[in-house]
A = this chain, B = another copy of it.
Amino acid sequence: MDTLHELTEIFRAFPGVGPRQAKRFVHHLLQRGEDAEALSALAARLRKSVVRCELCRRFFTKEGSFKKCRACRDEGRDKATLLIVARDIDLEAVEKSGSFRGYYFVLGGTIPILDKQPEKRIALAALIARAENAAKEGLKEIVLALSANPEGEHTAETAARILAPLAKEHNIKISTLGRGLSTGTELEYADAETLKSAFKNRQ
């Protein structure tokens, strides 16, 4: 068993890491013994101490016996809106922007355009369960907060279709994030769709 080689392979499977960088990671740990030990302890603890929130499905470090993350436990948030994101990191971006005070739901990914089994990619059943649950507590609007690219749009469309019956029954609005000029967009390089939305959403 070749520890160097095996550890390199583990790092190679990390997102965005090539063979050279994987080797550098191993050498980094060889030179920093304490980091190797800390990493070993944390990686072992990870699956025990980090759990998925049973409401929004984001990962969070267990605190006591809570099964919900801090945001989902916060009764002061706006129960009328539920914002759907693809990944934990999107949730964090929205939360950090301070633009939203309702509840979240994390799909766990996006659906590639030609994918035949969307239910394997994102948590559609859990999404319906969460929305039904929220409907009983006054949900008025579901905001589909996906990226403005083909895969994001396809995922939003799929989620909207899945949620349609429930939305109709409970009179819940389904919305998507507004399009327009994002920070840094130069007019000259903006595509027609962005310019149309920007003109329509002018204020």
Contacts and interface: CB of A to CB of B under 8 A. Distances in A.
B147 A99 contact: no
Interface in A67-118: 85-90, 93-94, 96-100
B59 A35 contact: no
A184 B148 CA distance: 5
A181 B143 CA distance: 14
A170 interface: no
B178 A177 contact: no
A188 to B, nearest CB: 5
Contact of A99 (B10, B188, B199): B199
Closest 3 CB pairs of A and B: A178-B201, A180-B180, A97-B192
Given A175-B203, A176-B203, 13 more contacts: A16-B24, A20-B188, A40-B40, A43-B43, A85-B187, A94-B199, A96-B192, A99-B198, A145-B198, A178-B199, A178-B200, A183-B191, A183-B194
